[in-house]
A and B are shown apart, each in its own frame.
Chain A
Amino acid sequence: DSGVTQTPKHLITATGQRVTLRCSPRSGDLSVYWYQQSLDQGLQFLIQYYNGEERAKGNILERFSAQQFPDLHSELNLSSLELGDSALYFCASSVNSLGNTEAFFGQGTRLTVV
Chain B
Amino acid sequence: KNEVEQSPQNLTAQEGEFITINCSYSVGISALHWLQQHPGGGIVSLFMLSSGKKKHGRLIATINIQEKHSSLHITASHPRDSAVYICAVKGGSGGSNYKLTFGKGTLLTVNP
Contact = CB atoms under 8 A, between A and B. Distances in A.
Interface string B10-51: 000000000000000000001101010000011111001010
A92 B35 CA distance: 12
B14 to A, nearest CB: 28
Interface residues of A, number: 29
Contacts, number: 74
B42 A103 contact: no
Interface string B67-111: 000000000000000000010101100101111111111000000
B91 to A, nearest CB: 8
A48 B42 contact: no
B102 A42 contact: yes
29 contacts: A31-B97, A33-B98, A42-B105, A44-B102, A45-B99, A45-B101, A48-B96, A48-B97, A48-B98, A48-B99, A50-B97, A55-B96, A56-B96, A57-B96, A58-B99, A92-B43, A97-B97, A97-B98, A99-B31, A99-B90, A99-B91, A99-B97, A100-B31, A103-B100, A105-B42, A105-B43, A105-B44, A106-B42, A107-B41
